[in-house]
Structure 1
Amino acid sequence: MAIGALRAFSKDLNLVAEESFECAATIEAYAGAGEWTTIADLEAEDEDEADGTWAPELRKPIAASRVAVYCDPLDGTNEYAAGEREAITVLLGVAVDGTPRAGVIGQPFHERGKSEDLGRVVWGGAGVGVHGLDIAEDALAPPVPPHGAHVVAVNRNLRENRQAPVLEALQSRVDVVISATGFHYLMLLERRAHSALLLRKASKKWDTCAGEALLRATGGIVTDTVGRRYDYSYNLNALPNLSGMAASLDVGMHCEMTGIIRDVIEPLGDYPYDVDDPSIRPSVLDGVQTPAGGWRAVTVDVGGCLIEPRERVADVYARTARSIGIDYVTSETASHDFKEAFAKFRGSDEPNAMRYYDDGKSFWRKVIAHVLSRGGARASADDTVVETMLTKLYEYYEHPSAWYVAHGAVDAISRLRRSGVKVAVASNWDSRLPKLLESLDLARHFDAIVVSAIEGCEKPSKEFFTKCLNAVDVPASATLHVGDDERNDVSGAVAADFACAVLWAPPRPATASSLAPAPRVRDFNELTDAILSANRAHVTHKHYFQ
């Protein structure tokens, strides 16, 4: 039934399910079954329940070709046969561009015999958090190592020679012995275990996609045995997780754990490096030479990378215009006219002028006037009207609730700094940015904040990037920059002799030109994994497994 419903929702949906669905209800049976509930509907129905809103990129239309849905109608079949009803789950995971972004775990026999309400549904994803766990207020989670034992969940059936030495090296305590991946993920989400280990080929994408999406939403991670991430793009030839599975509730702990696993299993054979696994996601920095001594600094763009507006800018402009009595500005016209103005105007009329000076109002007045005049199609708005709208928009965007912080950014930046890598903001922005970052509780996580309006120069100039290097006192040859603009961020950093520039963007389309493309990433933790993996030879101190 679930598969039939999904097919009815989108006939072009890339859907993979474990069980055969030949006898499932026909698509036609669902065609008129009622209205579909969208993400926006869910948020409007229960705003109090959600921790936040879905990540901005998930609130926009997404081509079906970029989406893969993995469904396991009955995870834990052997446990069901053995009478372990609590371990049975129904799994539904949604991946976008190969990354799990939303997940649902149904546990039909939760609290069996203990509660009148039979079962529960745990759901969530990037930005919205995880819901439905119903953890008792007095529940005590085991402290993360080194403050307590490393608590793990493992499969009941042990058929490899790696698990015992790995558990011994990690000094792990096995609290959960169940052959059901979905149940393992619930144990992690409930903080009843730190990690789940399956150090051999024994799971498939439909077992792990939903749980990985939920773990990612709460700061966790899923990888193969040795710390490489899986790609969930639709590929029927890459369904098995051939290189094993390791999952943890803490990314930093997990990366240290998989480093130990690599060292322990190396003398025991070539696995998993001898496996041709087409679903292993290449590292962000594959093909990039690690600087001598390792990466020592990372500079981070802000707008469109570290933070994004929670609402579409066009919607905010149209709503604000209506609030001051202007009804001819719609979201559609504002979208067109805003983009046109943003590309056209600068903060002054001087040659080679920057976009932002001081508080940026000299630039934003021009943008607002352009939007209100419908790109020049109407008479120019009165200066008083422009100023009124400017004030309202400034008040709106100065509030932290107007912004969405990239999922996992704070944890990833903290991991970098804890390992000795300096991290700095490098942004074309007006002078209000430091205060905004403070209101978002981001400023304290950076070693330096370099802002164009304050420095008097902007990206892509070499002068700007030199100021960034001076702020962290690290040479360009040991510094990586990440940002969302190919000209300002990638070309600018490369021209300033940075060792690497990474574009904040989805994976490169297969049909795109192959002329020296910049590395791409859309996940700060994935970028941090690559940096710390490259730096591994230069780091000896362990934070978790001491």
Structure 2
Amino acid sequence: MASTEYSKELHIALLAVQRATLLTKSVFHSHAKGTLDKADASPVTIGDFGAQALIISALQHNFPDDEIVAEEEAKDLRENSKVRQTVWDLVQNSKLSDDAAEKELGGAIASVDSMLDIIDKGDSKGGSKGRIWAIDPIDGTKGFLRGGQYAVCLGLMVDGDVKVGVLGCPNLPVDDSQPLTEDIGADATDAEGKGVLFSAVQGKGAASRPLGKGSLANESTIGMKPISNISDATFCESVEAGHSSQSDSVAIANKLGITKPSVRMDSQAKYASIARGAGDLYLRLPVRKDYVEKIWDHAAGDLIVREAGGQVTDTEGKRLDFSHGRTLKENKGVIAAPKDVHQHVIEAVMSVLGSK
């Protein structure tokens, strides 16, 4: 992407997400691998806290006046010395291999107490004024635990409008042309050709680059795949039935003439996958009337898809509105599709949901 007024924000966001994503990978291999029986959620907890601490530390160093909306708060760490020490050890050992890049992020966090205070900097209420970053340190909890898809997510909103978005997807293939299947990245390994950073700046397009361990790798421009016949589309949705109505998705697919089964994936890796043309549609349909989406679950992915040539709205065709605090309280559900077929998809969605 060419230089823009947000070039520094993009650069720091990419480095911060890359460093945090490497921490989450180390957590998986050291604490989560081989089991889903995690009643105490400890691998997720330490990964969430560690990644959030690293990202906020980098943002505070570079943009000290910006507000931050993040999912976690340090209360549990303050009360649990064992988990606190585990997170601290991970944070201390999570450094980029490139000294210059590490210096740009502000280097190591000074102390355990500093780490706790940094985590709690994510307490902004959000809103429609000023510069606000939205962080989801591990989006896709169950995907993370089973070695499937998850994402480290960071978006910058200015006056309620998303300007910069970055996703770290360690288990997606680097090859943008690899077709989307449910078993993509099913085994979390450090094999060559896995791990991607996706990014976008408003008005400047979207890009992907291999996830590295030091300075940033070269980027490739990405774009959504044109659909000549919507019945041939591949659509993705959440793995968890509690996150999206899978029965409604089937009915919508039938209306559109889509015969291929959906690809079920966790996290904003779905946004990234359709943005680069590996898939075509992303449907997230309300499971109950009072369900409200969180801004950190959508800010980065929304921008990346739109900058890749797609359109993202709720189920009524309204743009996602990030100006109402920490939630998308003015929206219900998410529909992401190439611009030329988006209205067709919305009509099918409204027909199915309106008949209920």
Aligned match of 2:253 in 164, 167, 183? 167
Equivalent position of 1:419 in the other structure: none
Task: Give matches, 1:124-523, under 5 Å.
Answer: 124-133=200-209, 144-146=227-229, 149-158=232-241, 160=245, 161-172=247-258, 173-180=260-267, 182-200=268-286, 201=291, 203-233=293-323, 235-236=325-326, 238-239=327-328, 243-248=332-337, 250-268=338-356
Tell me by how many angstroms 1:35 deviates. Answer: 5.3
Question: Which residue in 2 is equivalent to 1:96?
Answer: 158
- Give the distance between the partners of 1:90 and 1:240, measured in 2 at CA: 23
Query: 2:225·2:276 contact (CA, 8 Å) conserved in 1?
Result: no
Does structure 2 retain, via aligned residues, the 8 Å contact 1:13–1:65? no
Q: Work out whether 1:15 is the aligned partner of 2:63.
A: no
Query: Distance between the aligned counterparts of 2:206 and 2:303, measured in 1?
Result: 10
Kindly provide the amino acid, as one letter, of the partner of residue 162 in structure 1.
D
Q: List per-residue Cα deviations over 1:382-433 (Å, max 9, x = no partner).
A: xxxxxxxxxxxxxxxxxxxxxxxxxxxxxxxxxxxxxxxxxxxxxxxxxxxx
**Unaligned ranges ≥5, structure 2:** 1-53, 78-86, 93-101, 107-127, 174-187, 211-219
| 8 Å CA contact 1:14, 1:65 repeated in 2 | no
| Amino acid in structure 2 at the alignment position of 1:150 | A
The separation in 1 between residues aligned to 2:201 and 2:255, in whole angstroms, is: 33
Change (3 A) 1:106 1:35: closer
Q: Distance in 2 between matches of 1:122 and 1:206?
A: 16
- In structure 2, what is the equivalent of residue 390 of structure 1? none
Any idea what the Cα deviations from partners look like across 1:300-324, whole Å, max 9, x if unmatched? xxxxxxxxxxxxxxxxxxxxxxxxx
Q: Secondary structure at the match of 1:91?
A: strand
Secondary structure (helix, strand or coil) at the match of 1:153 reads strand
CA distance in 2, matches of 1:239, 1:66: 18
Partner letter of residue 108 of structure 1? P
Q: Which residue of 1 aligns with 2:198?
A: 122
Shift of 1:106: 0.7
CA contact under 8 A between 2:320 and 2:331: conserved in structure 1?
no
TM-score, normalised to structure 1, is 0.38
Task: Tell me the alpha carbon deviations over residues 32-73 of structure 1, each in whole angstroms, 9 at most, x when there is no partner.
Answer: x85579xxxxxxxxxxxxxxxxxxxxxxxxxx9422211110
Change (3 A) 1:143 1:149: farther
CA contact (8 A) 2:58 2:105 kept: no
Whether contact under 8 Å (1:225, 1:246) holds in the other structure is yes
> Percent identical across equivalent pairs?
25
Deviations 1:65-109 (A, max 9, x none): 42221111001111122332xx12100011223222211011223
Q: What is the CA–CA distance in structure 1 between the aligned matches of 2:194 and 2:284, rounded to whole Å?
A: 29
Could you say what secondary structure the match of 1:119 adopts? strand
User: 1:20 Cα deviation (Å)?
Assistant: 2.5
* C-alpha displacement of 1:174: 3.3
Number of residues paired by the alignment? 229
Partners of 1:209 and 1:12 in 2: CA distance: 20
In the alignment, does 2:140 pair up with 1:76?
A: yes
1:185 alignment partner, SS class: helix
Q: Does 1:2 align with 2:78?
A: no
* Contact 1:103–1:211 under 8 Å retained in 2: yes
- Cα 1:267/1:239, change in 2 over 3 Å: closer
Cα distance in 2 between the residues matched to 1:118 and 1:263: 39
**In 1: Cα distance, 2:255 partner to 2:68 partner:** 40
Q: Shift in Å at residue 196 of structure 1? A: 0.5
Check conservation: 1:110, 1:119, Cα contact below 8 A. yes
Q: Report the Cα distance in structure 2 between the residues aligned to 1:213 and 1:5, rounded to whole angstroms.
A: 22
The structural deviation recorded for 1:145 is 4.2
Flag the 1:145–1:231 CA change in 2: closer, same or farther, 3 A: same
**In 2: Cα distance, 1:171 partner to 1:97 partner:** 40
Residue by residue over 1:431-458, the C-alpha shift from the partner in whole angstroms, topping out at 9 and shown as x without a partner, is xxxxxxxxxxxxxxxxxxxxxxxxxxxx
Question: Residue 232 and residue 209 in structure 1: after superposition, are their counterparts in 2 closer, same or farther (change >3 A)?
Answer: same
Is the CA contact 1:142–1:151 (under 8 Å) kept in the aligned structure 2?
no
Question: Does the CA-based 8 Å contact 2:230-2:341 persist in structure 1?
Answer: no
Q: Is the 8 A contact 1:222 1:246 kept in 2?
A: yes
Shift of residue 21 of structure 1? Answer: 4.8
* TM-score for both structures, normalised by structure 2: 0.56
Cα distance in 2, alignment partners of residues 191 and 149 from structure 1 = 13
In the TM superposition, residue 170 of structure 1 has moved relative to its aligned partner by 1.7
The alpha carbon displacement at 1:199 in A equals 0.5
Distance 1:226 1:81 in 2: 34
**Larger CA Rg, structure 1 vs 2:** 1
Question: 5+ residue gaps in structure 1?
Answer: 38-63, 269-546
Higher relative contact order at CA 8 Å, sep ≥6: structure 1 or structure 2?
2
The whole-number CA distance in structure 1 between the counterparts of 2:160 and 2:201 is 14
Shift of 1:110: 3.7
CA contact (8 A) 2:321 2:330 kept: no
The answer to whether the Cα contact below 8 Å between 2:311 and 2:342 also exists between their aligned partners in 1 is yes
Name the SS of the counterpart of 1:259 in structure 2: helix
